[in-house]
Amino acid sequence: MNSKRKILITDSVHPLLYEGLRADGFMVDYLPDITALQVAEVIAAYEGLVINSKVYAGNELFNKAPLLKFVCRAGSGLEVIDIEYAKQKGIAAFNSPEGNRNAVAEHALGMLLCLLNNIVKANTEVKSGQWNREENRGTELAGKTIGLMAYGNTAEAFAKLLGSFDVRILAYDKYRKNFANEHVKEASPQEIAREADVLSLHLPLTPETEYMIDYAFLSSFKKKFWLLNTSRGKVLRTAHLIKCINEGRIYGAALDVLENEKLQTLNEEEQDIFQKLAADKRILLTPHIAGWTHESKQKIAEILLQKIRALYQAI
């Protein structure tokens, strides 16, 4: 392989990726501390670019990269890549959702069980000297109907885990059909709103899905329910979620993602919403770690290495 082929990795990844690429003859610059501005300054020298969430790969960056053959996301979301413009430039764009789907599924299940059984609330109370048993009586998952919005890698892995809990699973995916199995039934958003006890969001962030989950949809549910979001913050209007919880339409929510995850940059309105989230014992928050396990970091590296190798074998 031509040793002048250079790949830039801009975020922390498992050593398997850059060591494997170097073994294949690539020159790899592993620069996890590089800034987006610095990437733009040096991108002209590279055939490959590996990013996570720090760098946006769009027309401005692509126009500075005459040698670029591929850009890939170390993770699942493709909202950080302008896919259409990449196609126009002949640049392959791909991600690695296979690598962290199980991690997301396990995190979603853990958050759901914490919600249903008041585990976080009870833990805090016991550690402060309160022994409240009746106030923390839980709800069993068995017998419930789970609604999945989108049925991609993470939702499919979540449904697999739920299969042993004696639940009914309804899944909606606008772009995928004929995926039903013994555990999962294909459903419309209206059917999910009519029957679900739990709503779990697995939507990618696109212009079509941005703020899809709003007051109109949340208030259309026929039963009081629990909500999980391990996908992207901006598919859900957080203020509308809070409104529905306060109106008694939603028991509680578990959010691994927020509309603005850079907490130091919150404007006045965002700060008000965040304070309401943080103060509400019915809401669980984690810092976008659903896919963030030691195992998933290795799996993502393995998946990307396989896909980059396949790309060059096809050239």
- The Cα–Cα gap between 34 and 302 comes to 23
* High-pLDDT (> 70) share of the chain, %: 99
* 244-294 pLDDT per residue, tens: 999 999 999 999 999 999 999 999 999 999 999 999 999 999 999 999 999
Q: 140-281: same fold as 6-96+295-314?
A: yes
Contact 86, 62 (CB under 8 A): yes
CATH number for domain 6-96+295-314, candidates 3.30.70.100, 2.60.40.60, 3.30.420.40, 3.40.50.720:
3.40.50.720
0.75 exceeded by the pTM? Answer: yes
**What residue spans define the domains of the chain?**
6-96+295-314, 140-281
Instruction: Kindly report the average pLDDT of the chain as a whole number.
Output: 96
By CB atoms closer than 10 A (0-12, 13-18, 19+), residue 177 is exposed
Contact 76, 153 (CB under 8 A): yes
**Pairing assessment for the beta strands 283-285 and 184-186 based on DSSP bridges:** unpaired
* 60-103 pLDDT per residue, tens: 999 999 999 999 999 988 999 999 999 999 999 999 999 999 99
**Pairing assessment for the beta strands 250-255 and 225-229 based on DSSP bridges:** parallel
* 15-54 pLDDT per residue, tens: 999 999 999 999 999 999 999 999 999 999 999 999 998 9
**1 vs 263: which has the higher pLDDT:** 263
What's the topology of domain 140-281?
A: Rossmann fold (3.40.50)
Helix spans in the chain (H): 15-23, 36-42, 59-62, 83-88, 97-117, 119-127, 153-162, 189-195, 215-218, 238-246, 268-279, 294-314
Which pLDDT score is estimated for 4? 65
Contact 193, 172 (CB under 8 A): no
DSSP 128: T
* High-pLDDT (> 90) share of the chain, %: 97
Give me the active site residues, please: 232, 261, 288
* pLDDT class of 3 with cuts at 50, 70, 90: very low
Q: Tokens 């833990």 — which residue?
A: 123
